[in-house]
Chains A and B, each alone.
Chain A
Amino acid sequence: MKPKSFVSMYVCLPVLTAACSLLLARPVAAQSVPDPNPGSLTVTSSVDLTNVYMFRGIRQDDTKVMIWPAADLGLAVYSGDGALKSAAIDFGSWNSLHTGNAGLKSASKKMWYESDFYTSFSMGFGGGLSLGTTYTAYTSPNAGFTSVKEVMFKLGVDDSAKLGKGALKPYGIVALEFNTEPGVGQADGGLKAGRYLELGVGPGWTGSKASLTFPVKVGLSLANYYEFDGVDNRFGYFSAAGIGSVPLKLPASFGAWNVHAGVEFQQLGTTPQAFNNGEAQKVIVSGGIGLTY
């Protein structure tokens, strides 16, 4: 129940951006390679495998293997030199296919646990500031959960220009569920629509042949997001991860491909811990292939 995997969210785009930076930093020979896609549409896609699927700290499945195919189409609708530097609209689909208890071994015996559709409008401002508004419909083709509708606002700062390699790239997310009923249309299956807050940073390092990112974040309930036994618990989870990405050497006309892998640790609050059979920690391993074109 999330629009993108943590690998996709924290690794693919930053790392691909970094990869692009690397490519741009190469000498003339590399620069002479024509851009395969100078138009206004950009495709981002990835396929990841993981052992555990946690949605904002809430365990979805931790049995056997999960496969996460995702695709995003971005339309650059504006670019300029004023205060507003860029504007874009994105449409995307994120999916989770489960071979374990929530999929092939569930009552339905169907693999397709989750299919999310999202669309976002994002704006880039001077100073590296960005603001994105995203609508997401989280659906479950195998009826693993009831559909959840959410509007999310994300404010981010790319502080690379000021801090260089020490950039933290902090961000804040506020997400609001709507169209809910008790037990229906909510990530926690609670009584009331939830409001979620996430604060995070994504420092990293980019080398000549690989990139590393170390996203750290905390997920909190602003209201009713982590309900359990009728009580909303403020602290949802804390997460720290390390992810490496290596660009694949393919002809530029096929876009920028990468292979990536990562490990994430989550410390869970009272509600996610209860959903996790009483265990307060979770370790998630994942890896996959990504494309930006």
Chain B
Amino acid sequence: MARRSLPALLITALGFLTLPSLAAAQAAADPNPGNLTLIGNIDLTNTYMFRGIRQDDTRVIAQPSAEMDITLQSADSGLKSTSLNFGTWNSLHTGDTGLRSATSGLGCACDKIWYESDFYTTLAFGFTGGSLGITYTAYTSPNAGFNNVKELMFKFGGDDSSALGKAALHPWVIAAFEFDADNGHQADGGANAGKYLELGVSPGFSGANASIAVPIKVGLSIGDYYELNEGTAALPNFVDHKFGYFSIAGIVTVPLGGTTSYGAWNFHAGIEFQKLGDTTKAINNGDSNKVIGSAGLGFTY
């Protein structure tokens, strides 16, 4: 149930770092100078955690995604850019919530691989010192692994690279609000629609042949986002726990050649550590730590 996978998120973060080199390459021969941009990724991972909430940690998980960005406006100052984006993010599971769900008894128990398919659309504004994005996401599960979740998310990203140079932190803040959340249509399957807050930074280093990013973030509930049933199934008592998870990761991205008529391709791989709060720990079978490894291919055109 994530709009973006860890690698995708980090690749986005790396975008800040790699822009200068990409710009140089694109100056040579931009295959797509128009107003539409395509972004695609295919990643493999061992564990799928959605904001600290474990979805699956068995066998291999493939996460293909695609996005089309439409640049509506651009300027040199003030409101520097406006774009409208549409995308889909998917999670295909070969383990307990996918091809082995009949054995595990999870979800549909139907051995179908397609655990998650998200549709999202974003209206994004770029300013001199940062950006603001408003995203609607419909998280759906084709194999009935979870109830559909609808969410409105606001993301503010700061661009401190002009002030801090290579020490830039690229901070961001996310506030997300679930709606139409009756009958367990929530990320935590709780009693009330959740409100989520995420604070993060993504320092990094960009070299000639590779880029490294070290995103660090914390996920918090600002209202019923991490509800834990401390009662029974018959007499539930949902208690909201403020702290959801803390995450630190390291990601390496290597461009595959320069920008060609097929766009700019890259290989990326990373490892992430998550420290879980009470609710997320309970969902993770009482284990408060999680290590996630992932790798994949990405392109921007």
Contact = CB atoms under 8 A, between A and B. Distances in A.
B32 A37 contact: yes
B38 A73 contact: yes
Nearest to B33: A36
B142 A112 contact: yes
B32 A41 contact: yes
A219 B140 CA distance: 35
Interface stretch (A10-18, A159-167, A250-258): A250-258
Interface in B1-59: 31-36, 38, 40
10 contacts: A37-B32, A39-B32, A71-B66, A73-B40, A75-B262, A112-B140, A141-B140, A251-B35, A253-B34, A254-B34
A43 B38 contact: yes
Main secondary structure on B side of the interface with A: strand
Interface of A: 34, 36-41, 43, 45, 71, 73, 75, 93, 112, 115, 139, 141, 143, 251-255, 293
Given A43-B68, A112-B140, A115-B142, A141 B34 contact: no
A253 B35 contact: yes
B209 interface: no
Nearest to B259: A39
Interface residues of B, number: 22
Interface in B79-107: 88
Contacts of A139: 114, 142
B35 A141 contact: no
Nearest to B301: A41
A41 B38 contact: yes
A37 B142 contact: no
Contacts of A112: 140, 142
Contacts of B263: 39, 41
Contact of B301 (A36, A39, A143, A254): A39
B70 interface: yes
Contacts of B38: 41, 43, 73
Nearest to A251: B35
A293 B38 CA distance: 11
7 pairs of A and B residues whose beta carbons are closest in the complex: A36-B34, A39-B31, A141-B142, A40-B261, A39-B261, A253-B35, A253-B34
Contact of A141 (B32, B114, B262): B114
Contact of B35 (A36, A41, A45): A36
B253 interface: no
A73 B39 CA distance: 11
A254 B36 contact: yes
A218 B80 CA distance: 54
B262 A41 contact: yes
Contacts of A73: 38, 40, 66
B36 A38 contact: no
Interface in B227-278: 260-263
Interface string B134-155: 0000001010100000000000
A40 B31 contact: yes
A252 B33 CA distance: 11
Contacts of B31: 37-41
Chain B CB count within 10 A is highest, among A41, A71, A139, A254, for A41
A36 B260 CA distance: 15
Contacts of A293: 34, 36
Contacts of B117: 115, 141
A34 B114 CA distance: 41
A112 B40 CA distance: 23
Nearest to B262: A40
A45 B86 CA distance: 12
B63 to A, nearest CB: 15
A93 B65 CA distance: 12
A212 B262 CA distance: 33
A293 B34 CA distance: 9
A113 B182 CA distance: 23
Contacts of B142: 112, 115, 139, 141
Contacts of A115: 117, 142
A38 B88 CA distance: 25
Contacts of B35: 36, 251, 253-254
Given A34-B33, A37-B33, A253-B35, 5 more contacts: A39-B263, A41-B32, A41-B38, A75-B262, A293-B34
Contacts of A71: 66, 68
